[in-house]
Amino acid sequence: MKPFFLSLALSLMGFCHSVHAQGMQKAPASADTLTQQQLEDFGNEAKNRIKAFVDYLGVIADKNRSFEERNDAIRQAMLMFQKTTMNGKPPMVEISNIRTGKYSYYPIRQYLEKIKTLSYDRVEITNFESVRLNNWEKQPDGSYRATGQYFQGFKAWKNGNTQPVYADKTTKKIAADLNVREDPFYKEKQWMVLFGDITVAMTEQDNN
């Protein structure tokens, strides 16, 4: 495993282990309701995972990295998402273009592959502000849902230009689902967070 992914994976694993030790042991899969402290722990986990997701986007878009490394980032990012959402379809990602005013939707896997093959010489995707998450709300099926917000900076260069030919800042909303699932680290059913659809809240030109 490449150093970046090893570091990120260990960081996420360590955080999950901390939540497991401090909260999950008090929240077995059979628990109907989570305590406020447990919900706060899972909220912190969700925010860390959202930030990690944007970090993966930066790796996927980085043409200086090998295809192997970028494909690995796609695989790791996909593990953060539900297989299907409530409508029975894969999570969808909305994208925007400040120049054309166009909004498009892609299934999560197609979105990640699209980022990998963007027709620019260089692409940078970064977080430009701290991730946010609203309060968990319990659902009739016993799960909890919340909406996260992240702030994605996108810059692209082409044809040897020293200045970006396209640059924007986009505020995005991401659905977070807290439910009982099989934990990939512990191979047992635990409460865990996965993500669903991503939508655009606002896009503006980045003049910096």
User: 3-205 — its CATH code?
Assistant: 3.10.450.50
pLDDT computed for residue 207 by the predictor: 84
Is the pLDDT assigned to residue 173 strictly greater than 50? yes
Determine the straight-line distance between the first and last CA of the chain, rounded to whole angstroms. 35
CA distance 131 to 172: 10
pLDDT computed for residue 150 by the predictor: 98
Q: What is the pLDDT of residues 87-128, one digit of tens each?
A: 999 999 999 999 899 999 999 999 999 999 999 999 999 999
Domain ranges of the chain: 3-205
Task: Output the 3-class SS for 60-102.
Answer: HHCCCCCHHHHHHHHHHHHCCECCCCCCCCCCEEEEECCCCCC
Go through the chain and tell me how many residues it has: 208
CA distance 168 to 162: 17
pLDDT computed for residue 174 by the predictor: 99
pLDDT computed for residue 20 by the predictor: 44
pLDDT computed for residue 10 by the predictor: 40
Residue 4 — very low, low, confident or very high, per pLDDT cuts 50/70/90? low
pTM for the model stands at: 0.86
pLDDT computed for residue 21 by the predictor: 38
Quick one: which H or E segment has residue 11?
A: helix 3-22
